[in-house]
Amino acid sequence: MNIKPYGDTLQDGKVQISFTLPIAADAIGLEAARQLAKKMGLIDPNVVHQEKLGDHFSFYIVYGSVGVSIDLNDIHVETFETPTMTREEIEQLIETELDRELVFVGASTGTDAHTVGIDAIMNMKGFAGHYGLERYKHIKAVNLGSQVANEEFVRQAKLLKADVLLVSQTVTQKDIHLKNLVDLVELLETEQMRKDVVLIAGGARITHELAKELGYDAGFGPKKYAEDVAAYAVLELIRRKKQMF
Amino acid sequence: MNIKPYGDTLQDGKVQISFTLPIAADAIGLEAARQLAKKMGLIDPNVVHQEKLGDHFSFYIVYGSVGVSIDLNDIHVETFETPTMTREEIEQLIETELDRELVFVGASTGTDAHTVGIDAIMNMKGFAGHYGLERYKHIKAVNLGSQVANEEFVRQAKLLKADVLLVSQTVTQKDIHLKNLVDLVELLETEQMRKDVVLIAGGARITHELAKELGYDAGFGPKKYAEDVAAYAVLELIRRKKQMF
Amino acid sequence: MNKLNLDQKTIESCRIHANAIAEKIVRFIDNHTTVSVERSILRLLGVDGVDRYQVPLVNRLVDDCLQQRNCGEGISRYLAASLKNTQRNLADFLVAYQAGKATLAKDPASVEETLAILKPWIDQGLKKIQEQKELRNHWINTYGTAKTQIYVIVATGNIHEDVIQAQAAARAGADIIAVIRSTGQSLLDYVPYGITTEGFGGTYATQANFRLMRQALDEVSKDVGRYIRLVNYASGLCMPEIAAMAALERLDILLNDSLYGIIFRDINMQRTFIDQNFSRLINAYAGILINTGEDNYLTTSDAVEEAHTVLASQFINEAFAKKAHLSASLMGLGHAFEIDPEIENSFLFEIAQAEMAREIFPDAPLKYMPPTKHISGNIFRATMQNALFNLATVMTDQSIHLLGMMTEAIHTPFLSDRFLAIDSAKTIQKTAKSFREAIDYREGGVIHTRAREVLQKAKLLLGDVEKTGLFNALENGVFAGVKRPFQGGKGLEGVYVKDKDYVNPIALRMEEFFR
Amino acid sequence: MNKLNLDQKTIESCRIHANAIAEKIVRFIDNHTTVSVERSILRLLGVDGVDRYQVPLVNRLVDDCLQQRNCGEGISRYLAASLKNTQRNLADFLVAYQAGKATLAKDPASVEETLAILKPWIDQGLKKIQEQKELRNHWINTYGTAKTQIYVIVATGNIHEDVIQAQAAARAGADIIAVIRSTGQSLLDYVPYGITTEGFGGTYATQANFRLMRQALDEVSKDVGRYIRLVNYASGLCMPEIAAMAALERLDILLNDSLYGIIFRDINMQRTFIDQNFSRLINAYAGILINTGEDNYLTTSDAVEEAHTVLASQFINEAFAKKAHLSASLMGLGHAFEIDPEIENSFLFEIAQAEMAREIFPDAPLKYMPPTKHISGNIFRATMQNALFNLATVMTDQSIHLLGMMTEAIHTPFLSDRFLAIDSAKTIQKTAKSFREAIDYREGGVIHTRAREVLQKAKLLLGDVEKTGLFNALENGVFAGVKRPFQGGKGLEGVYVKDKDYVNPIALRMEEFFR
Ligand code: B12
Ligand code: B12
Ligand SMILES: Cc1ncc(COP(=O)(O)O)c(C=O)c1O
Ligand SMILES: Cc1ncc(COP(=O)(O)O)c(C=O)c1O
């Protein structure tokens, strides 16, 4: 099925765009904005607003219809719909399939000081009504907090015999998170630990695709909670256990 | 010179996009939104918001960098920078160059009931501190109001021996204004009056380019006032007069 | 509790002036009928359908009456005579008439005969309206009514697309859905027929479209546990006909204001006052709430200087509505948040205006319009302006909250525009829930002072209008600065002086109901 | 005029508790110094520059002192001894030191000798600060200060790009420009050197960057006829050093709060309280306004339940500031609009909190932070939330108005984000100009009640903290629910007990100034 954006009528293709250009707010600016919108595939772009931002910049708001459409058959979301399981179901699963205590070690790494995200997943209280991992039976959840250097993180993981590593990254400006996340993978490989852990990244700007690309097993973004992470990790541990035999 | 949109660093190419897709707000929707943004030329699009709009629609906000840039040398704005003249200068110009009373007839045509735009140009009071044409010496400004059928408009133009016709169109939904504006040109041609008048269109969504395409002499959009229109029209009448000799 | 403590005597004076103003016009109205009033009678008797040129039968019949006979006697008397002459019931007569096998009677029946002959159809029409009214009351009693109802528009031109969007909006939290009409419909002297899928800036108001949308909203009402109200426009050249159709199809609210038509659509003033009166009677009978169009004035004239004209017009509209038996609970008087935000203290002026309306018309379900004129293509700025408006709505306890759209200056709303608007309105309703009860306006503060000034000026204006008469006042351009001649504008040719034996059997029965 | 009429006795009790809390900590502070305090002294004496490994000379000198000698005696005494031994003036000594041709003296000079030898450089440093202060006062006297100042941040990582954007923002209406630091700088135990063009989520705070930006803002100040204030962070491991640099380069405002460092950066509490005290003394001397970080608490803990912790912390910060000679006019206590808008009446809670701060600290230039935690990627909703915040700022007469950005949840501000935010703030300032004077909070209304509750709870909390002591309270996690051990966190290794002959010649002179 081919779909297009929807303004008020099926297949009308309507989108809204805004951007700043590093030129003055004059007729040339307007035309440049229109042409840019055209290059972005808008048919008959309508520059509905031009605003002077000082002498050397100008801001534009554009509406128009895109010619392109998306074939839904081409969309292959890596089947990463974590099964919706309740805490009780997950606890049950650990009991019957793994029958041991699992160790989850988490931290906000590098210079990142944001703890609310990792706390949301790990701490007793959880977030938005979803209890955190600390409250799960058969899970030992160790939250190392924030600003944890990768080296320290790996050291603790080793010490605690972690099954699952949870890494949170919030600051993404100039792609600082990419460097940080990749460094951790390299460090784990150097320590020959990479295969022994389920390695999970998370944060407001983290997607599963990105995490996979960087060498993680999974990535979780906004609106994901402890049960999503736990379900994924436990199923993955079970899968790995079965593979071993 | 090649320019790109500016987020917070020169040539970073940052743009913001929003649109609705006619599918549910799930992982497939997210990926479809990302792919659409890619098709629009965004490198690494960041879907920063997904919102459920009922069961069958979902809304997306995306940020990212466009790869394309605009070469300012390619921008040819039809030199339609109306010279900035004051009312007094225009009155002076009419006196010295044309030496007669000019007749401007205006209306909001078709079923369009919006008068504020045409009133802004024509009425004594004007708009945003710019007096309207009625206040100009040597200009007889006749404002026929709104909802004026094209036939009636042409009849009055003939009767009043109009030099300049001012047509306002505000409602543009489903391109109703295009039909209306084109019909007027055809009518004027049938009546063999087209060449005898300076034909000007105006309105919130009217651009000079559009007006030219439709067979008008000029088009005026937002932030244009009586002096812009008068200056253009008077200069055009002078040009035509000179051409005749 | 009154928050402004406006002078009750001044308010009373305003009402006295307004009543006198309306009184004079009503005397004029009582002596006249119009083609649209006559067509409405036919519609309520059950005449429906179009001929093969898409001309509605009600137009055909009334045109026949006009061409050959005198409309001032009333179409009903000719219809009654026709039934009597052809010995047919109404349905059969209409089939024959349409097939060219029967014509409208040359001479009218007497008034008594007319009432007797048409009784079954009058009864049937009124019963249908009563049933719809009861159904509405049932829904409302079941689900209750929000203190502030969220009102949004759909306007795609295609009724099917409208339905999708209306349902989605209701699920998102809208309480009221208005289907905006295609531009120009108000100038048509007939009502288009059937389901329509093409319109400009709106969707044609037809009885079939009404029915389709009503059904869709009933469906969604059950799902969301709120009765979703449906709105259209009884405005322009077919005021009473649309009211009749709305009554039959259970619309809940009608934009219904001749002043709007006169000023913004150049409808002839005689024509539309007469039309309005019957339309309001129908609305009163059907329990349909009306919305008046004062909000529009400030889109044309200056919102600071002309604020009092809005209030004056509300008083006049109230007087007219009373005369047509509309109770206060059905008078959705209009006003708007239209002052340029760049003007110092304009937000306070807005609050003053909105609070004043609330205090003066405590029982009226006021309709509060969002900023429109001062919205530009800057959708982010528009979002900010709408947030202030939403807060003003909560602060001043408005009843019907028409949501502002961030794309107001660009196009009729996209699906997403409506969602974002509903999100903003509902969030502000929540976050500022008891704001009204947590603050008082300070005596001598800008809000207080402004409200007093505006009320005072409205009183003076009403006094003047009473002196000159409303017709003259409109000729002089008191409202929105627009001048309209008594004999000018559209539709005057459809106005007729009533014969002394004129009868409007529907109006008779409705008037009886209110006695 | 007080709008909440809070109980003055309760407020007084809070101040008494807070004073007692600070008193105890100050006794601890007085017995200690830190590496950063010592480095600051060097900076104020004129030591600047880095070695070829980019290590600042001040770090080299203090490290030498640490490794071979006892920092508790104070770097000044070693420096004085070095000058005396080598018979060089400071500049020459530093050249020789850097070239490896001179070393730091093995034994310290006596206190008297130290003061005498260093006098020229002490005089010179303090004079420079006084000149900058006078220059600032001159600007301010010339141009005046807006009642509510608009504060925006730049954070590109590249100081040149920051300059472009800061100037553009000032022209658009911003009064205050803050250059956000690169993430992680607060954990560095040195201040980077020179002009920098790469940072993450911010731009490195360096003296060269300070100078560049100050110059750019002076330029634009003249053009716009307003003195544009410059902000940076004296927070983290180098608090007093940044304060020293800021004093020399005429920054106007510093974010300066150990509690922030303890809670959100895990800086050791002993270290940072000592550092803070000297940094505040420098700020007081230089006329630099401080901003405290209470606003951050509610990004981590619940804004409804923990509102009183913000107030309690403001009282404590006030007490600390007083002890460092900061006058009320330099205490930019922080608070924030952080309650989830989905909570009923949360806007009223915000108003209560903001008004309460205004009433309790009438002379403090309060800094009001926008919603951040409850902003999502929905930029339109964010725009609405920021509009409410902007209105709250006007209603409660805040002094420093940090603008919310629609892209708060996405990235540090784009150029256009800042413009849209300024447009919203300025428009609301205008449209609601006299709102504060036009309304009163109703006795017993939600705003009133909430303010009382929060004040009461703050008093109880302060009483508890007084009993346990602030160090223990922080160990128990009273603020933002974060627990920090007394011996834990970063920077403890830089803390030293003062020798009985310790001297800080700069502090001495500054204290003198205030006597
Ligand atoms: C709260 C906050 C702070 C607080 C942090 C307090 C604390 N204890 O964490 C304080 C005030 C200290 C702070 C400081 C700074 N912040 Co901050 N902050 C925020 C804010 C407002 C909210 C973040 C948050 O808590 N969200 C709520 C949580 C629950 O969401 P979340 O993190 O996305 O987590 C969810 C998912 O992503 C997922 N998840 C997250 N982590 C993980 C991990 C795993 C393993 C899994 C499975 C899932 C998962 O699960 C969670 C629940 O669904 C955001 C803006 C915003 N509205 O988003 C800015 C923001 C993140 N901060 C920002 C910046 C730049 C800073 C500073 C660097 C600024 C400065 N230079 O001074 C400083 C320093 C901090 C640092 N170096 O890291 C920027 C980042 C820009 C960018 N894209 O890089 C933002 C976006 C603001 C902005 N627009 O500038 N900040
Ligand atoms: C005021 C207004 C009304 C008033 C009109 C009152 C009056 N006396 O004009 C009322 C309330 C009556 C009204 C009614 C309707 N309106 Co209206 N209205 C507006 C509104 C709020 C402002 C328009 C305005 O006056 N702008 C100010 C003037 C000064 O700007 P301007 O017209 O652009 O004029 C400037 C330039 O364009 C130029 N210019 C204009 N004309 C000309 C002509 C010449 C020759 C020249 C040289 C220059 C020139 O000069 C002017 C000064 O710079 C806009 C929304 C908005 N904020 O823009 C909606 C809007 C235009 N309306 C709209 C609609 C759909 C309607 C209705 C059809 C709705 C309905 N179905 O009921 C009705 C019916 C009217 C009709 N059929 O035409 C839509 C149009 C959508 C579209 N793109 O097609 C808008 C955009 C609102 C919306 N989002 O839905 N409206
Ligand atoms: C009372 C009234 N009637 C009608 C309309 C709509 O205009 P029309 O149907 O004439 O296009 C409005 C618009 O706001 C109105 O207020
Ligand atoms: C007092 C204080 N210091 C510092 C910061 C900035 O954080 P950092 O410089 O530690 O990255 C903030 C942030 O709001 C703050 O409030």
First CA to last CA distance, chain B: 43
Asked if residue C260 has its Cβ within 6 Å of ligand 3, the reply is yes
> Does A52 reach chain C within 8 Å, measured CB to CB?
no
At C111, list the tokens.
Answer: 């008034």
So what's the pLDDT on residue D124?
A: 98
Contact B8 D379 (CB under 8 A): no
Q: Is C296 in the pocket of ligand 3 (CB under 6 A)?
A: yes
Distance CA D452, CA D137 (A): 38
Q: Is B127 on the interface with C (CB under 8 A)?
A: no
Q: How far is B83 from chain A (nearest CA, A)?
A: 13
* B79 pLDDT more than 60: no
Instruction: Tell me the three state secondary structure of residue B95.
Output: helix
Catalytic positions of B, written as ranges: 125
- Strand-strand pairing, A198-202 and A164-168: parallel
In chain B, residues with a C-beta closer than 8 Å to the C-beta of A205 are: 46
- What value does the mean pLDDT take over residues C153-173? 96
- Confirm if D74 and D502 have CB atoms less than 8 A apart: yes
Q: Which chains touch B (3 or more CB pairs under 8 A)?
A: A, C, D
CA D211 – CA B148 distance, rounded (Å):
65
Contacting residues for B39 by C-beta, under 8 A, at least 6 apart: A41, A66, A68, A70
As a whole number, the mean pLDDT across chain C is 96
Among A52-56, A153-157, B153-157, D13-17, the minimum mean pLDDT is found in A52-56
For the record, the structure tokens of B49 come out as 């918001």
In chain A, the domains with their CATH numbers are 2-70 (3.30.30.60), 87-243 (3.40.50.280)
- Which runs of E-coded beta strand occur in D300-431? 331-332, 334-336, 367-369, 400-402
Which stretches of chain A sit within 8 Å of chain B by CB? Answer: 3, 5-7, 10, 14-23, 27-28, 30-32, 35-36, 39-41, 46, 57, 66, 68, 70, 72, 74-77, 80-81, 205
Average the pLDDT over D81-104 and give the result: 95
Q: Report the residue of C154, C410, C412, C419 to disrupt the A interface, i.e. the one with the largest count of A CBs within 10 Å.
A: C410
The pLDDT assigned to C361 comes to 98
- pLDDT tens per residue across span A122-138: 999 889 889 999 999 99
Query: Is the CB of B49 less than 8 angstroms away from the CB of D376?
Result: yes
Q: What pLDDT score does C68 carry?
A: 77
Separation in Å, CA of A136 to nearest CA in chain C: 34
C171 touches chain B (CB under 8 A): yes
Interface of B with C in 217-236 (CB under 8 A): 222
Partner D contacted by A16 (CB < 8 A): no
Shortest alpha-carbon distance between residue B216 and chain A (Å)? 19
pLDDT tens digits along C328-363? 999 999 999 999 999 999 999 999 999 999 999 999
Q: Which helix (H) or strand (E) segment is D381 a member of?
A: helix D379-395
- Alpha-carbon gap, residue C19 to C29, rounded angstroms: 15
**Do residues C323 and C287 lie in contact, with contact meaning Cβ atoms separated by under 8 Å?**
no
- Nearest-CB residue to B21 (from A6, A21, A31): A6
Name the residue among C199, B78, B118, B5 with its Cα closest to residue A62. B5
- Check residue A78 and give its pLDDT: 67
3 state DSSP class of D186: helix
Q: How far away, in angstroms, is D425 Cα from ligand 2 center?
A: 28
pLDDT surpasses 80 at A235: yes
Q: What is the pLDDT of residue B125?
A: 87
Nearest in space to D60 (alpha carbons), one of D72, D47, D77: D47
| Digit-coded pLDDT (tens) for D10-27 | 999 999 999 999 999 999
- CA–centroid distance, residue D426 to ligand 1 (Å): 28
pLDDT category at B173 given cuts 50, 70, 90 is confident
First-residue to last-residue Cα distance in chain A: 43
What does the pLDDT read at residue B107?
Answer: 97
Is D265 close to ligand 4, i.e. is its CB under 6 Å away?
Answer: yes
Q: Model confidence at A81, in pLDDT bands (50, 70, 90)? A: low
Beta strands in chain A (DSSP E): 2-3, 14-21, 42-53, 57-66, 70-71, 102-108, 139-143, 164-168, 198-202, 218-220
Q: Which ligand is closest in space to the CA of residue D236? A: 4
- Tell me the shortest Cα–Cα distance from B54 to chain C, in angstroms: 5
Contact B220, B200 (CB under 8 A): yes
In this prediction, residues A21-41 reach a mean pLDDT of: 95
Q: What is the reported pLDDT for A125? A: 87
- Helix D35-45 vs helix D239-248: angle between axes, to the nearest 10 degrees? 20
Residue D324 has pLDDT above 60, yes or no: yes
SS3 category, B93? helix
Residue D270 has pLDDT above 80, yes or no: yes
What is the helix, strand, coil percentage profile of chain D, to 5?
Answer: 60, 10, 35
Ligand 2 centroid to D417 CA: how many Å? 29
Amino acid found at D58: V
Q: Nearest residue of B to residue A47 by CA position?
A: B205
Nearest by CB to residue A40, choosing from B66, B72, B81, is: B66
Q: What is the pLDDT of residues D100-139, one digit of tens each?
A: 999 999 999 999 999 999 999 999 999 999 999 999 999 9
Q: Which residues of C are known to be catalytic?
A: 260, 295, 367
**Cβ contacts (< 8 Å) between D376 and chain B: which residues?**
49
For the record, the structure tokens of A94 come out as 């650990």
Dihedral pair phi/psi, residue A32, rounded to 5°: -60, -40
How is chain C split into domains, by residue range?
Answer: 33-123, 146-449
pLDDT at residue B80 in the model: 60
State how far Cα A5 lies from the chain centre: 24
- Give chain C's length: 515
What percentage of residues in chain C have a pLDDT greater than 70? 100
Give me the CATH topology for the region C146-449. TIM Barrel (3.20.20)
Could you tell me which of C330, C265, C268, C332 has the C-alpha nearest to residue C295?
C332
Percent of chain B with pLDDT over 70: 98
Task: Find the residue in B nearest to D408 (Cα).
Answer: B48
In DSSP notation, C91-106 reads HHHHHHHHTTS----S
CB atoms within 10 A of CB C381: 23
Over residues D35-45, mean pLDDT: 98
CA C252 to chain D, closest CA, distance in angstroms equals 30
Q: What is the pLDDT of residue B81?
A: 65
Binary contact (B113, C265; C-beta < 8 A): yes
Please work out whether the CB of residue C82 comes within 6 Å of at least one atom of ligand 3.
Answer: no
In the three-class reduction of DSSP (H, G, I as helix; E, B as strand; rest coil), residue B149 is classed as coil
Residue D379 phi/psi, 5-degree rounding, is -65, -25
Closest in D161, D378, D409 to B8, CB measured: D161
User: What confidence category does residue A79 fall into, taking pLDDT thresholds of 50, 70 and 90?
Assistant: low
Distance of alpha carbon B21 from alpha carbon A70, whole angstroms: 10
Dist. CA C431–CA C427, nearest whole Å: 6
What's the complex ipTM?
A: 0.96
For ligand 4, pick from D189, D238, D260, D490 the residue to mutate: most ligand atoms within 8 Å of CB: D260
Q: Which residues pair with C233 in a beta bridge?
A: C255
Rounded distance from Cα C488 to ligand 3 centre (Å):
20
Does the distance separating the beta carbons of D266 and A171 come in below 8 Å? no
Quote the pLDDT of residue A80. Answer: 60
Selection from D193, D203, D192 nearest residue D159 by Cα: D203
Residue C391 has pLDDT above 80, yes or no: yes
Residue B78's pLDDT band (cuts 50, 70, 90): low
Residues of D in contact with A222 (CB under 8 A): 376-377
Is-contact B174 C200, C-beta < 8 A? yes
Percentage of the residues of chain D whose pLDDT score is greater than 90: 97
Q: CB contact, 8 Å: C266 with chain B?
A: yes
D197 touches chain B (CB under 8 A): no
Q: What secondary structure does DSSP assign to D461-508, as a single string? A: HHHHHHHH-HHHHHHHT-STT----TT-SB-GGGEEEPPTT---HHHH
> φ, ψ for residue C467 (rounded to 5)?
-65, -50
- Contact call for residues C254 and C290 (beta carbons, < 8 A): yes
* Residue type at position C47: V
Q: In this structure, how many other beta carbons lie within 10 angstroms of the beta carbon of residue D512?
A: 8
Separation of alpha carbons C366 and C355, rounded Å: 11
Decide if D383 touches B, using CB distance below 8 A: no
CB C363 within 8 A of CB C318: no
Q: To 10 degrees, what angle do helices D346-360 and D446-468 make?
A: 60
CA of D232 relative to ligand 4 center, distance in Å: 9
Q: pTM, whole model, 2 decimals?
A: 0.96
Q: Are C289 and C332 in contact (CB under 8 A)?
A: yes
* DSSP class of D56: B
Average pLDDT, chain D: 96
10 Å CB burial of residue A190 (0-12, 13-18, 19+) is exposed
pLDDT at D69: 76
Both tokens assigned to A3: 């779909």
- Mutate: best of B4, B8, B14, B46, partner D, most D CBs <10 A: B8
Using CB atoms, pick whichever of A8, A46, A61 lies closest to residue C414. Answer: A8
The position carrying tokens 């008083």 is C315
Ligand 3 and C490: CB distance under 6 A: no
Residue with tokens 């360096």: D206
CA distance C275 to chain B (A): 21
Kindly tell me the number of DSSP H helices and DSSP E strands found in chain C.
20, 12
| pLDDT over 90 (residue A151) | yes
Interchain CB contact of B180 with C (< 8 Å)? no
> What is the C-alpha radius of gyration for chain A, rounded to an integer number of angstroms?
23
- Each residue's pLDDT tens digit, B59-74: 999 999 999 999 999 8
Other CB atoms within 10 A of residue A163 CB: 23
